[in-house]
Amino acid sequence: MTGPESTPRTDRAAGANLPPIPGERMARQIEDATESAVDEDADLESNELHASGRTCARCGAAIRAGEDVRRTAAGLYQHEVCPLR
């Protein structure tokens, strides 16, 4: 058959009591668990590291309070951008 007669018909409205999609229930549970695990007061956008009083492994200058730093692979601290001398 071709044309509109070949399309199966249903009397149910779209989306009305359709069987669940496989994995949908688990996906919703994971989403709910993820949302409840996040602390609303945590600032996830700010991941700055500060190490005032330590010495920069790159330039040797002291790291002052408020300066952004990063850790090296050896675990030492260095300025994000070393100050000009």
* d(C-alpha 28, C-alpha 24), whole Å: 6
Q: Minimal CA–CA distance to 68: which of 55, 85, 82?
A: 82
For the question of whether the overall pTM of this predicted structure is more than 0.75, the answer is no
Establish how many alpha carbons lie within 13 A of residue 79's alpha carbon, considering only the half-sphere containing its beta carbon.
16
How many Å apart are CA 50 and CA 36, to the nearest integer? 29
Cβ(54)–Cβ(34) below 8 Å: no
Q: Residue 58: which pLDDT band, with cuts at 50, 70 and 90?
A: very high
pLDDT for 41 equals 63
Report the amino acid identity of residue 60.
G
pLDDT in tens, 2-46: 555 676 666 666 656 777 778 888 888 888 877 766 666 666 566
Question: What residues have CB less than 8 Å from 65, skipping those under 6 apart?
Answer: 50, 52
